[in-house]
Chains A and B, each alone.
Chain A
Amino acid sequence: MTSTELLLQQLINAVSIGSLYALMAIGLAMVFGILRLINFAHGDLIMVGSYVTLLLMLLGLPFLLAAAAGVVASTIAGLIMERVAYRPLRGAHEIAMLLTSFSVTIFLENLAIILFRPTSRAFPAPAVLRSVIEIGQLRVAGLDLIAIIVAAVLLLGLTLFVRRTNVGIAMRAASQDLLAARLMGINVNKVIATAFAIGSFLAGVVGLLWSARVGKIDPLMGFNPVLKAFVASVIGGLGSLPGAVIGAYVLGGLEILLQGLLPSALTPYRDAFVFAILIALLLFRPNGILGSTEREKI
């Protein structure tokens, strides 16, 4: 393998993992932009979708049908979450909302432990997702390509939705100023539910790709992805959609870079370095790359 090919290989890895982070981070950013809520339970939507998919596959449904049902299940779970846990908290302090989302996480994870046992289960992804394409010396996992393409299509669709449709425009208005949006006759509850639905849908998709990548699922599987999506959206500037996407790809690149550059004795500490860099970054750009630097006015 020449050095260009090696570089290309790593680039594909970075973009593919970054794509997964981006789809997760968008869901977080959308909700945070409107409600100032950091929805920690966003990660558990991954788990819900993956378990529903696995269950239906075990019942004999073909993968595509089961996967579609899994994504729908994630979306419904997200909507229920919003209605039951977060709507009663409108206008509450952001810490109160963050803590509520922790409770939702604890609730869902323990429910999954009761229903499905705490041990992990194999996730039998179809052969297409496990294939490896060889281009010259380059070996590209089919899953990586699919992740990149799916993310690109979804991000494009989302951009069009947010810019062109009425609901999308209402959503951006609500994230700029919730009160003013309400005064303009925007049905804020509908907008928020839409944001949750879109975010949860994306989380369901990530769940499928993530489970196929890892090959097994367990009740706590949402923890790491949501943590990474947090980092991504904080790097980009909490609440900014383009920021979340940029942050996600920066994070993907950073992880692959650290994996390559760290001496082998230090590679297990990769995540510690990632978070240390995050904290350092916040010191210089406390509101992320694209976050507003505006200070509170008196």
Chain B
Amino acid sequence: MAMSTRLQRLIPPAVMIAALAAILGATDLVAGDYLQRIVIIIGINVILVASLNLSNGFTGVFSLGHVGFMAIGAYAASILTLPVHLKAVNLPDLPGWLQGVAMPFLPATLIAGLIAMLVAFAVGLSLMRLNGAYISVATLGFLVIVQVVLVNWDQFTRGARTFAGVPAYATIWNVWIWAALTVYVVWRIGASAFGRDMRAARDNEIAALSLGVSVIRSRLLAFCMSAFLTGVAGSLWAHFITSFSPKSFFFTQAFSIITMLVIGGLGSVSGSVIGVFLITVLSELLRNAERGFDIGALHLPPIYGASQILMAVLFVLVIVFKPAGLMGGREIDIRGILRRIGASRRGKGAA
């Protein structure tokens, strides 16, 4: 009996992993280039949004600066993986010990995540003491600091110029392994005692303190873990897009990630995933539409920027009419759904 319940518990995750693998396998084999790119982008966005949820959703530390960690991850990993002959051309002033290094993807990504995490720890020591809107403004300040440093630190970043020649290591598989891992970790943290500490501190700081929750410590821990995963996503993105500049990591990108998070629902991991799917697909469709298209005899000219406007309007509508997002902080209960399906089947069998 004990054995069978344990087995039963393993069924939902096993089903999910198998389904995910089947979808990815099919995309990898059958789908065209364009669709494959979208699937990769969705995977990277899942990591970005789920990890942002860890800090913004669970602890209520509403960071606007996470794109800064993404930038740190992207640049750090790219400097490590850039082939030696390209380093000599693109980054000639790099210190000698880095000049000869051309790391494989995984260690570079892990190191990039760790660097983002260290920076998060250093900044977080002071930021996590702030509250509400002050934290948002201060993290925005952090984003500006990262931006200024990227634009001016020529020796490592090529300044405002494009950083090109990053090897295209990102595939559907390695991106989605990280994505699945991120969703699993964030979901487990959310369901753990530690996750409840975070939410308690978010919902009522004084009550949480009085119950012995160390508010600053739990915020800082969430912030650091979140920064690690965001740094990893930055590395994956860099090795997918292969050329980028500091401008890629600024306000527009920050806003797009936050849109997905809020529309999915703060504090809900399944909400994050749903938000990413909806918004990525929608913005991809809109971006195609704004290049201009024909309806019968009517020809619409391209209007660049129109998709961003529509997204902004949609976002305001969600905030006004569904302020808690689509999932409203709840999770999709896969076990419950499976149980209900099982129960109805059994019910039918009895009848």
- A and B: interacting chains: yes
Task: List chain A positions with a Cβ less than 8 A from chain B.
Answer: 36, 38, 85, 88-89, 92-96, 98-100, 102-104, 106-107, 110-111, 113-114, 223, 227, 230-231, 234, 238, 268-269, 271-272, 275-276, 278-280, 282-283, 286-287, 296, 298
What are the 3 A-B residue pairs with the smallest beta carbon separation, nearest first?
Answer: A275-B141, A110-B305, A272-B148
A282 touches B126 (CB 8 A): yes
B138 touches A279 (CB 8 A): yes
Point out the residues of chain A lying under 8 angstroms from B149, CB to CB: 269, 272
Per the bound structure, the CA–CA distance linking A100 and B123 in Å amounts to 26
A110 touches B308 (CB 8 A): yes
Point out the residues of chain A lying under 8 angstroms from B320, CB to CB: 88-89
B134 touches A107 (CB 8 A): no
Interface-lining segment among B15-23, B70-78, B309-317: B309-317
B145 touches A96 (CB 8 A): no
Minimum CB distance partner of B56 in chain A = A95
Contact of B319 among A100, A231, A287 (CB under 8 A): A100
- Residue among A38, A102, A111 with the most chain B CB within 10 A? A102
Which of chain B's residues 94-144 have a Cβ closer than 8 Å to chain A? 123, 126-127, 129-134, 136-138, 140-142, 144
Task: List chain B positions with a Cβ less than 8 A from chain A.
Answer: 62, 123, 126-127, 129-134, 136-138, 140-142, 144-145, 148-149, 151-152, 205-206, 251-252, 255, 258, 262, 303-306, 308-309, 311-313, 315-316, 319-320, 323
A103 touches B315 (CB 8 A): yes
Point out the residues of chain A lying under 8 angstroms from B141, CB to CB: 231, 275, 278-279
A96 touches B308 (CB 8 A): no
B304 touches A95 (CB 8 A): no
Whole-angstrom distance from the CB of B143 to the nearest CB of chain A? 9
Whole-angstrom distance from the CB of A122 to the nearest CB of chain B? 22
Whole-angstrom distance from the CB of A35 to the nearest CB of chain B? 11
Besides the known contacts A114-B303, A223-B251, A269-B152, 20 further A-B residue pairs in the complex with CB atoms under 8 A apart? A38-B136, A85-B316, A89-B320, A94-B133, A95-B62, A103-B313, A103-B315, A103-B319, A110-B308, A110-B312, A111-B309, A113-B304, A231-B137, A234-B134, A268-B148, A268-B151, A271-B148, A275-B141, A279-B127, A282-B126
A275 touches B144 (CB 8 A): yes
20 contacting pairs across A/B (C-beta < 8 A): A88-B320, A89-B319, A95-B133, A99-B262, A102-B258, A103-B312, A106-B309, A107-B309, A107-B312, A110-B308, A114-B304, A114-B309, A223-B251, A230-B140, A269-B148, A269-B149, A271-B144, A278-B138, A279-B126, A298-B206
A96 touches B305 (CB 8 A): no
B126 touches A283 (CB 8 A): yes
Q: Interface of chain B, helix or strand or loop or mixed?
A: helix
Per the bound structure, the CA–CA distance linking A269 and B125 in Å amounts to 22
Whole-angstrom distance from the CB of B319 to the nearest CB of chain A? 5
B62 touches A275 (CB 8 A): no
Per the bound structure, the CA–CA distance linking A113 and B130 in Å amounts to 36
- Residue among B62, B258, B316 with the most chain A CB within 10 A? B316
Contact of A286 among B123, B129, B315 (CB under 8 A): B129
Whole-angstrom distance from the CB of B68 to the nearest CB of chain A? 11
Point out the residues of chain B lying under 8 angstroms from A95, CB to CB: 62, 132-133, 136
Per the bound structure, the CA–CA distance linking A110 and B306 in Å amounts to 7
- Residue among A107, A238, A278 with the most chain B CB within 10 A? A107
Per the bound structure, the CA–CA distance linking A85 and B133 in Å amounts to 19
Per the bound structure, the CA–CA distance linking A111 and B144 in Å amounts to 24
Per the bound structure, the CA–CA distance linking A276 and B148 in Å amounts to 12
Per the bound structure, the CA–CA distance linking A111 and B92 in Å amounts to 41
Contact of A279 among B131, B142, B148, B262 (CB under 8 A): B142
Per the bound structure, the CA–CA distance linking A296 and B306 in Å amounts to 44
B131 touches A286 (CB 8 A): yes
Per the bound structure, the CA–CA distance linking A100 and B62 in Å amounts to 14
A98 touches B133 (CB 8 A): yes
Minimum CB distance partner of B321 in chain A = A88
B316 touches A103 (CB 8 A): yes
B132 touches A94 (CB 8 A): yes
Per the bound structure, the CA–CA distance linking A296 and B142 in Å amounts to 27
A95-B133, A271-B144, A279-B123 known; A114 vs B306 contact (CB < 8 Å): yes
A36 touches B309 (CB 8 A): no
Point out the residues of chain B lying under 8 angstroms from A96, CB to CB: 319, 323
Minimum CB distance partner of A84 in chain B = B316
Contact of A114 among B140, B255, B305, B319 (CB under 8 A): B305
B136 touches A107 (CB 8 A): no
Point out the residues of chain B lying under 8 angstroms from A111, CB to CB: 305, 309
Per the bound structure, the CA–CA distance linking A35 and B123 in Å amounts to 29
Point out the residues of chain A lying under 8 angstroms from B126, CB to CB: 279-280, 282-283
Point out the residues of chain B lying under 8 angstroms from A230, CB to CB: 137, 140
Whole-angstrom distance from the CB of B347 to the nearest CB of chain A? 43
Point out the residues of chain B lying under 8 angstroms from A98, CB to CB: 62, 133, 136
A100 touches B316 (CB 8 A): yes
Whole-angstrom distance from the CB of B32 to the nearest CB of chain A? 30
A234 touches B315 (CB 8 A): no
Point out the residues of chain B lying under 8 angstroms from A104, CB to CB: 312, 316
Per the bound structure, the CA–CA distance linking A103 and B206 in Å amounts to 32
A102 touches B255 (CB 8 A): yes
Whole-angstrom distance from the CB of B152 to the nearest CB of chain A? 4
Whole-angstrom distance from the CB of A264 to the nearest CB of chain B? 12
Point out the residues of chain B lying under 8 angstroms from A278, CB to CB: 138, 141
Per the bound structure, the CA–CA distance linking A197 and B339 in Å amounts to 58
Contact of A282 among B134, B152, B306 (CB under 8 A): B134
